[in-house]
Amino acid sequence: MLRVLVMVSGGGTNLQAIIDAVKSGEVTNTELVGVISNNYGVKSLDRAALAGIPAEVCSAKDFASRDEFNDRLLERVDSYKPDLIVLAGFLVVIPEKMIDKYENKIINIHPSLIPSFCGTGYYGLKVHEAALARGVKVSGATVHFVDKGTDTGPIILQKAVEVKKGDTPEVLQRRIMEEAEWKLLPQAIDMIANGKL
């Protein structure tokens, strides 16, 4: 069984997609061993609790310095002994130490077709605002391994999604989640859990 730790910052619809896919058997050989949120009071924590997955908050606001936060975050991650760390809307820069320690064991979902609309400053709704401002007709989502750059690691899966006339960032975000993100992330976990990568 692949021990999967999911890291989140907000609503957790991708976390929910993973929980549902493990429950339904769409994702096999996988145990969700924990959820870490960097924010208090987010819906992700309720989703984890409902699914009976241990969850906790590790917030930078509770530490005097970034180094202290990073050390504590890595300590908490280690405590779950994960085989795979899934960044499911985790909007925190991953400490270098963690990337070194978990090389090729951290994956991220990004809401665009990398290399478009990615890198520093492109996260959440900002990605969709930029895509609409540029006038692209197709966007999508990407699952990739995490390396020391921002959204630069090897690509695992991508799916294109149509941009429609009159889309707002919110409408486009939702379509990309429904048509791409919620499918790709469970699929990538299943591939890794079953040695297909």
Strand partners, 162: 138
Q: Judged by CB under 6 A, which of 14, 37, 39, 70 binds ligand GAR?
A: 14
User: With CB under 6 A as the contact rule, which of the stretches 51-59, 65-73, 119-127, 158-166 interacts with ligand GAR?
Assistant: 119-127
Q: Judged by CB under 6 A, which of 110, 144, 146, 186 binds ligand GAR?
A: 110
Structure-token match 């990004």, residue found: 110
Length of the chain counted residue by residue: 197
Strand partners, 5: 34, 85
- Find, among 39, 42, 23, the residue nearest to 31 by Cα: 23
186: contact with ligand GAR by CB under 6 A: no
Torsion of CA 99, 103, 107, 108, to 10 degrees: 30
The pair of structure tokens assigned to 177 is 């989640």
- Where in the sequence numbering do the catalytic residues fall? 110
User: With CB under 6 A as the contact rule, which of the stretches 3-11, 33-41, 99-107, 130-138 interacts with ligand GAR?
Assistant: 3-11
Least gap, CB of 195 to ligand GAR (angstroms): 26
Which residues make up the interface to ligand GAR (CB under 6 A)? Answer: 8, 10-14, 88-89, 109-111, 123-124, 127, 177, 181
